Structure 1
């Protein structure tokens, strides 16, 4: 191919021009061909029925496809419309498992559970959907095939570790991608320090400045989670992997696969905004990767917001929680407060009508959230505190009122409270007085808007965008064949070695043994001396 191109260039160019330009053109051509040759085949496995999670995962995969890599993605939410170099394989899930956990109540009922229940139930829900995904013919065909080859596997860090078997099958490095700021065992996976003294558990709602009681609970809940993960969850995942990857020869334990093959972990923390903590070079924070460039609003919505001289309040409980499932008393509390305000209200409400709807309130089953939050007239965002929503609010500098229900939502809202970018209202505390109080505080106290704008500037002030960072480090792993040089030696230490308990034992026991020996020697000397003295006394008495 190169020879044909060169021949054509020689015939088209004058000899002198060819002598000058041909070397440069050959460099450009070689670079282009090298780029095509280096295009990798990347497998993404995201078997969890949460659209918000897949938004994060698919954004990175789309970015990799745009770079010329060939990506294959297993998820419940294919891209619409499809894009080049991106092969979607749709997974379907039976949501009755989640309904059973909720006992057929609304999703709001999950907010009534304690932290220990949240740890346990998350370790059950994830594997339930992983098992369903394994039963799809497309997954089984990929396990059985001998014709496919992937250079990299990207796996959701959400209780689906059995799929790490693909990394062993394809002899490929593994990247974990977390849809949250990170689980305690995610840090342990790569040996990243995560002290319970100032790194709050996602199952808590603490800040990085904890009281003694909070540090005690944080240690207990994280220790409980780690033990449950190691002693119950991973053996179950290993059994599941062996059941479905039985055609793959020489399959190690799932723990061995993920420790030996994990090259990198992406977490959804926000540099400069999330609580500072130690970060190894192979733990990369890509919070905000899902925030897309702002698009023009529909004409009617734009006019509605442009004409809001007193500002706009946007209210949405995300994709998994339905505002229509608030109790009648809670809906009345919202409506009464909204009717007293001068601001216009946009409320993502899943039914066609809202009884008692005031004139300043507009409802819809869907709103373009990112584009709305970018509008200069938005003065407040009322949300469930999900990580996508809170990061979009911070990116656009909008103060927040959070009504956290489950998962990491309380922790996300605690972060915003500490930043003075918002307020938190417990679901069980919603009534006329409490809701009106927090709304009026948020829109009348200028510190919240001021701080939101300041944090937005911090969030945006990065050398790379989150997507550029994610793509760079993914390609870094590909270029360096798994980037083993980034892996910490901590992953090869047992827990007692990592905690230096063997060293502590030596430092305590050796001096203790020396002291004991000295004391025993002194005791024997004293006893011997005493016997000599007694013997001398008796001898003198006889004389």
Structure 2
């Protein structure tokens, strides 16, 4: 009887705590970048929050790959990547700085267009939210949404944190041993690598950002969030409560993170795969020797590739004794062969989970690499732009696959890479060993993301989690002001000692000397 009397109050208390934990909040998820691969990461977070019962409004500039009836979706038109954008970047082998200039110009214009869209203006005028989740792609001006709705901001980022992301939460760069994403270096770095890493961190990246992005973003911010009504952009950068980054320390590099930066690498990967469509399942099940899966991501269709390079890849793959499952597109096929099956779309996560997949030919995007690692599938990577080169350098150095440069690809070097990975068992062994390591976590990526977003909601932005570094400038962070102050003190002490010695010598020593004479 006593146990029953005690049990009921305890049950009530636990129930009330649970209700507080899952209290439904109004969340605006704003994902303005018209890049489908980014959307896959961001919507994995919103899907998890929707399952918890939160009321989400998801705003995007491209259609959702998979709709979710649990939340409202608003599509903003008028901001899309030009049809020939990827073709120019891939086939002309543009240097990074030229890619960056054109990219930032496009992002700046797109960022402004989204806020001026009638649907967005109506949303901002009529609704309120408890939290903003911002998909970040160098669109700083959208941090003003936190000021407009008077609520905390959570940033979702699709790769390991870069300089600007670290700056939001005061995360240290630690350039002496943490390679910049653009450098593609592995730890530990030698002297010359550390020198280049320093120059990228402290010169190249800040200058490029200042010249081609920051000033225009500030101008657009002031236009959309007038200074007489809203805090400045610099103040809003200090208002980020949490950063969720699609990365995990097991991938490297090893680095310290402040409490407000949480790693959720692999959040888009389903813990239990969905059933494959019947036609794809039949193809994969019946492939006697196995499947080679080919996809260059959600943004690259085959018809944007240089025809000669596409023909090289087709000629190599069509000769293999494997079934080639190739995500290509609707037109301009590189060739026809009995073992090559083209599809305009494939459920990549579910395909890679199939035990018959022997090799993944990929562009090396972060999402694709992570999914391949998670499912233990070795890779041949052909990086095209962005962080893909750094991703594939890491894959090759860790022994998870091989990399072939797109611009210098020949039939010989592509064939050598493909057959090396298919025939040498070390690649599959290495990647499957890592898969076990990658999955070994106290909570899944989805559970981690949900917990920390709800933590920010429960504690009204969780200001206690903010690093003091957010409020320090560069000189203060490096303690240069302290070093300068101590330098002045030491200089004055030395000057005083020198003066004192001269004074004593002139007053006493010289007098004694004169008396003796």
Whole-angstrom CA distance in 2 between matches of 1:351 and 1:84: 29
1:322 aligned residue (285, 296, 301):
301
* Residues 353 and 158 (structure 1), Cα distance of their counterparts in 2 relative to 1, 3 Å cut: closer
2:151 corresponds to 1:172:
yes
Counterparts in 2 of 1:68-107, with a 5 A limit?
68-79=53-64, 82-95=67-80, 99=84, 102=85, 105-107=87-89
1:289 and 2:274 are equivalent in the alignment: no
Gaps of 5+ in 2: none
Supply the distance in 1 between the matched residues of 2:5 and 2:191 (Cα, whole angstroms).
76
Residue of structure 2 aligned with 1:124, choices 83, 105, 112: 105
Correspondence 1:245 to 2:225: yes
**3-state secondary structure, aligned to 2:269:** coil
Q: 1:68 to 1:395 in 2, by over 3 A?
A: same
Q: Is the 8 A contact 2:303 2:332 kept in 1?
A: no
Tell me if the contact between 1:78 and 1:88 (Cα under 8 Å) persists in the aligned partners: no
Residues 166 and 95 (structure 1 numbering): CA distance in 2 closer, same or farther, change over 3 Å? closer
1:137 aligns with 2:113: no
The residue correspondences of 1:44-55 to structure 2 (distance < 5 A) are 44-55=29-40
CA deviations over 1:385-441 (Å, ceiling 9, x no partner): 001100110110001111111111112112222321111111112101110111111
Rg larger for: 1
2:353 match = 374
- 1:145-294 equivalence runs, <5 A: 145=126, 148-223=127-202, 224-229=204-209, 233-246=213-226, 250-259=229-238, 261-292=239-270, 293-294=272-273
> Conserved in 2, the CA contact under 8 Å of 1:118 and 1:203?
no
Structure 1 counterpart of 2:388, from 401, 405, 409: 409
* Contact residue 303 and residue 331 of structure 2 kept, 8 A: no
Task: Give the alignment's Cα RMSD to 1 decimal.
Answer: 3.0
State how far apart, in whole Å, the 1-side matches of 2:301 and 2:88 are.
8
State whether residues 101 and 212 of structure 2, in contact with CA within 8 Å, keep that contact through their aligned partners in structure 1: no
Between the two proteins, the alignment pairs up a number of residues equal to 512
1:435-450 to 2 correspondence within 5 Å?
435-450=414-429
Change (3 A) 1:29 1:314: closer
Aligned to 1:113: 95
Shift of 1:166: 1.7
Instruction: Look up the match of 1:3.
Output: none
Deviations 1:165-214 (A, max 9, x none): 22112211111111121221211211111212222222232223323232
Equivalent of 2:46 in 61, 64, 81: 61
Tell me the TM-score normalized by structure 1: 0.86
Residue among 424, 427, 433 paired with 2:412: 433
Contact 1:59 1:290 in 2 (8 A): yes
Contact 1:266-1:283 at 8 Å conserved across structures = yes
Give the C-alpha shift of residue 488 in structure 1. Answer: 0.8
User: Where does residue 4 of structure 1 map in the other structure?
Assistant: none
CA spacing shift, 1:533–1:120, aligned 2, 3 Å: farther
Residues 110, 405 of structure 1: 8 Å contact kept:
no
**SS state of the match for residue 358, structure 1?**
coil
1:308 maps to which of 263, 266, 287:
287
Where in structure 2 are the equivalents of 1:384-423 lying within 5 Å? 384-423=363-402
